[in-house]
Structure 1
Amino acid sequence: MELELKRTAETGDINAFYGVVERKPGILKAIEAKDFAETPLHVAASAGNTELAIEILSLKPSFGRKLNPSGYSPLDMALRYGQQETVKQLIKFDPELIGLRSRERKTPLHYAAETDDADLVAEFLVACPTAVKQLTVRGETAVHLAVLKGSTNAFNVLMGWIIRTDNTGILGWKDNRGNTVLHIAAQTGQVEVIERLIKEKVNLHGRNQANQTALDVVSSAEIQNLLRRAGALRSSELLDDLMYKDFLTTHKYKQCRQAARTQVDLDKGIADGARNSFLVATVLIATATFQAVLSPPGGGWLSKEDDTNYINSNPTLPAPPPPPVELYDDVNFEIDMFNFYKFIFLNSITFGSSLGMTFLLMPLSVKVVVRNVCIGGK
């Protein structure tokens, strides 16, 4: 950038700025053509010359997204030089500047979180809600950076926003090393942050790339006790995640995999209303067949020998009259026994089938099925 143009940007003289542009019409276009360049907007924003900065941004909107050779945007420069009024006017003119990634893919929200500027964090979140989901080159969210730098005020503002906008899943996001916000808080010994995260029911057992949970990286006994009371476990105390790989790849569990696949198909293919109707039907069939076994055709399970023992054990009872003589040949007896066994056989098949269908129709999580089968297989 030419020295004359730079001086007008430093002084904030709008008339002088237009004088340079008038004398040298192609000066701004030449700056715009460069991939990385220090623009007069960078200079004006750094100096806090808000009116000139807005004037330049309205003339050349692309300058708002131009990075200087150090990798910073004009909004970044205003932030780093503490020009808060200029920052507020720039984002009011173009809120999308908040989502602009500069050096290390950091956004202005990341910088405000690092420096514990709670007011600007709130301004940025209101103006650009999606900025809370943007990641640095190291995979860090603004919450990661706030906790890493001990920016308590910024962390509280971010937490309030995340909770109110139902974005609590962000608290479980991992950086490139696999660390969640809870990992960082445990490493840096921030008790209040950990208490807040526990209150929001974050996952206490997430593992980083070193296969460590938050309890594995605690920096003090106080935090260890706090996490233990919340139910946190060390990595060595958790079930081995490799069991899922074994389950899916080992031939030994082929039949189990087929059962799991069937369960998935059932869960995907049956609507909740139809599933409930089928469940009612299968339960009724199971109940009816079970009751039929208790009271089979013919009037019960007592034999003649059972009747005799019962009479002998009750001597005070009068002897029953002799039964009428019935003509009962061997052929009729064999037919009755055949029908009885046939009934028991068919009834048992029906009972077993209804129980099996009831089990298959239950909306059981496939993950739970896999875990239980693997545990049993080991």
Structure 2
Amino acid sequence: MERKLYDAAVQGNKILLLDLLREDALLLDRFITGRYPETPLHVASMLGHLEFVNEIVARKPELAKELDSHNSSALHLVSAKGYLKVAKSLLEVDPDMCLVCDIDGRNPLHIAAMKGHLGLLRELVDARPWAARVLMEQGETILHACVRCNQLEALKLLVERVSDHDFVNCKNGDGNTIMHLAVAAKQTETINFLISSTTIDVNCKNEYGFTALDLLSQNQRDMKEKEIAESLERMEAIRAKDKLLSIPQLKAIRSKILLSAWDQPNAILKPKKRKDGKRLVNSNRNVDWLERKRNILMLVASLLAAMAFQAGVNPPSGVWQDNGPSGFSLTESNGKNHTAGYSVLADNHPRGYTNFLIFNTTGFLASLSIILLLISGLPLRRRFFMWILMVIMWVAVTAMALAYLVSIAVLTPAHSDSSLITILGIAMFVWIGLMLILLLGHTIRIIIRLIKYLRKLVIRLVKPISTRPT
């Protein structure tokens, strides 16, 4: 029956729909209670079958709230196709669907604006104006989407209906305003509109300190660039950078602004360089790096905690199985008795067992600390905090290595090949030394970064004082 209903939705066959519902009155309810990649309403809406859509929403208006496998509602699909009448029918059922975001963080208004469906966009804005202020992924507004997709008319509509000074000058995750995007894409008409009809800040700086004018070359052989520069300079636009960038550098930066966090959220961009030679690192790559580190630390910490727990409850040499004299023989027991369930190593090698227990417990607690910090929900999104977690992980790994070394030392008979024991000991200490060298290197690196940060902070504090008139 579900298959037949899908076929009817593809054809827009209202008569077949009614026949199926007469055979099974609960047919539409199954698409609400069950899990389906998409509902017949999604299919009919995407194909623009108005009568079929009206019949479904009249019988089961709840289906308008159902999402497909991409978290898209029927209104999302209609917004992409531009079917105005179908959109009106869905809006009458539930206008709040304008606020629902799909898997890419876009609501129906975002999609309609990107596609340039002005009539439909106007209906959506009238239904829920504040839906236009919902940010997409990477902190971009619907105005960013209009500029990226070169939809000037949609931009004008939104500026007229829902925009204000703060919204027009809103920055995305890379600190770029819509003016940065328009200049990077050389959209002359869009720039002229923003200058003449909005309160856009032409001197706003992005994350890397560039104003819109910095994105244009000084040697303006390109007539379009020259026209844009003249328009910006009439608005008293300034360059934030004293040293002008070369043409290849400008092209790289403009390309980065237009590609960053758009349509390819997982794409790895080639590192660009600023005028001072430093790399412009995409914020997405930083987040990905931290996320990979978090996952690796969680996995390794879980394995170490499991190993330490197993070694703690089942120590080397095992536990006594009965009560009796301690030692390997009655003459070695020295009058001491052991108890069933207690560690054999604790009786025969008390000092070695103590060292083993110290190292094993240290590794166990360090691993648990990492797991607890990672699942605590704390905002561990800074490299400094990730460095702290890595230090704790080094402590855990080193402690487990020392526990292994102690176990090997106390479990190996004295008459065994001493050279083998020596080699194992040397290898273990070399490895621990390597860990300490890595720890020292990262410590020096973080100290240098901290000094640079404090130096910049002092310069920022001193500069306003020095420029203050006496």
TM-score normalised to the size of structure 1? 0.58
Number of corresponding residues: 252
Deviations along 1:6-65, one digit per CA (max 9) or x if unpaired, are 122233344532443443455434322356631111122123222331332244334223
Give 2:205's aligned amino acid: R
Deviations along 1:248-300, one digit per CA (max 9) or x if unpaired, are 976998xxxxxxxxxxxxxxxxxxxxxxxxxxxxxxxxxxxxxxxxxxxxxxx
The answer to whether residue 380 in structure 2 is matched with residue 375 in structure 1 is no
Q: Evaluate the alpha carbon distance shift between residue 201 and residue 75 of structure 1 in structure 2; reply closer, same or farther with a 3 A threshold.
A: closer
Give 2:468's aligned amino acid: G
Give 1:214's aligned amino acid: A
In the alignment, which residue of structure 2 is the partner of 1:180? 177
Instruction: Give secondary structure in 2 for the equivalent of 1:176.
Output: coil
Query: Match for 1:213 among 201, 211, 228?
Result: 211
Give 1:227's aligned amino acid: L
**Superposed displacement of residue 126, structure 1:** 1.2
Deviations along 1:150-202, one digit per CA (max 9) or x if unpaired, are 11211121122135xxx232111111221111111111112222223223232
Query: Match for 1:171 among 168, 172, 196?
Result: 168
> Could you tell me how far apart the structure 2 residues matched to 1:196 and 1:94 are?
35
> Could you tell me how far apart the structure 2 residues matched to 1:76 and 1:194 are?
29
> Could you tell me how far apart the structure 1 residues matched to 2:29 and 2:5 are?
13
In the alignment, which residue of structure 2 is the partner of 1:73? 73
Q: Where do 5+ consecutive residues of structure 2 fail to align?
A: 218-224, 243-452
| Mapped contact 1:143–1:158 kept (Cα < 8 A) | yes
In the alignment, which residue of structure 2 is the partner of 1:236? 241
Give 1:123's aligned amino acid: E
Q: Evaluate the alpha carbon distance shift between residue 248 and residue 61 of structure 1 in structure 2; reply closer, same or farther with a 3 A threshold.
A: farther
In the alignment, which residue of structure 2 is the partner of 1:361? none
Give 2:236's aligned amino acid: G
In the alignment, which residue of structure 1 is the partner of 2:17? 17
**Superposed displacement of residue 121, structure 1:** 2.0
Q: Where do 5+ consecutive residues of structure 1 fail to align?
A: 238-244, 254-369
**Superposed displacement of residue 5, structure 1:** 1.3
Q: How does 1:97-176 map to 2 (within 5 A)?
A: 97-162=97-162, 167-176=164-173
Instruction: Give secondary structure in 2 for the equivalent of 1:105.
Output: coil
| Mapped contact 1:95–1:128 kept (Cα < 8 A) | yes
> Could you tell me how far apart the structure 2 residues matched to 1:5 and 1:114 are?
32
> Could you tell me how far apart the structure 2 residues matched to 1:63 and 1:131 are?
21
In the alignment, which residue of structure 1 is the partner of 2:230? 225
> Could you tell me how far apart the structure 2 residues matched to 1:59 and 1:24 are?
13
> Could you tell me how far apart the structure 2 residues matched to 1:75 and 1:251 are?
53
Q: Mean alpha-carbon deviation: is it higher for 212-221 or for 39-48?
A: 212-221
In the alignment, which residue of structure 1 is the partner of 2:202? 204
Give 1:224's aligned amino acid: A
> Could you tell me how far apart the structure 2 residues matched to 1:9 and 1:96 are?
24
> Could you tell me how far apart the structure 2 residues matched to 1:252 and 1:140 are?
29
**Superposed displacement of residue 82, structure 1:** 4.0
TM-score normalised to the size of structure 2? 0.48
Q: Evaluate the alpha carbon distance shift between residue 251 and residue 151 of structure 1 in structure 2; reply closer, same or farther with a 3 A threshold.
A: closer
CA RMSD after TM alignment? 3.3
> Could you tell me how far apart the structure 2 residues matched to 1:8 and 1:91 are?
23
Q: Evaluate the alpha carbon distance shift between residue 252 and residue 38 of structure 1 in structure 2; reply closer, same or farther with a 3 A threshold.
A: closer
Instruction: Give secondary structure in 2 for the equivalent of 1:205.
Output: coil
> Could you tell me how far apart the structure 2 residues matched to 1:233 and 1:103 are?
39
Q: How does 1:1-378 map to 2 (within 5 A)?
A: 2-34=2-34, 37-162=37-162, 167-199=164-196, 200-218=198-216, 220-236=225-241, 373=465, 375-376=467-468
In the alignment, which residue of structure 2 is the partner of 1:260? none
Give 1:217's aligned amino acid: L
Point out which structure has higher relative CO (alpha carbons under 8 A, 6+ apart). Answer: 1
| Mapped contact 1:187–1:217 kept (Cα < 8 A) | yes
**Superposed displacement of residue 72, structure 1:** 2.5
Q: Evaluate the alpha carbon distance shift between residue 81 and residue 118 of structure 1 in structure 2; reply closer, same or farther with a 3 A threshold.
A: closer
**Superposed displacement of residue 214, structure 1:** 1.1
> Could you tell me how far apart the structure 1 residues matched to 2:6 and 2:24 are?
14
> Could you tell me how far apart the structure 2 residues matched to 1:35 and 1:195 are?
49
| Mapped contact 1:207–1:213 kept (Cα < 8 A) | yes
Give 2:166's aligned amino acid: G
**Superposed displacement of residue 234, structure 1:** 2.0
Give 2:210's aligned amino acid: Q
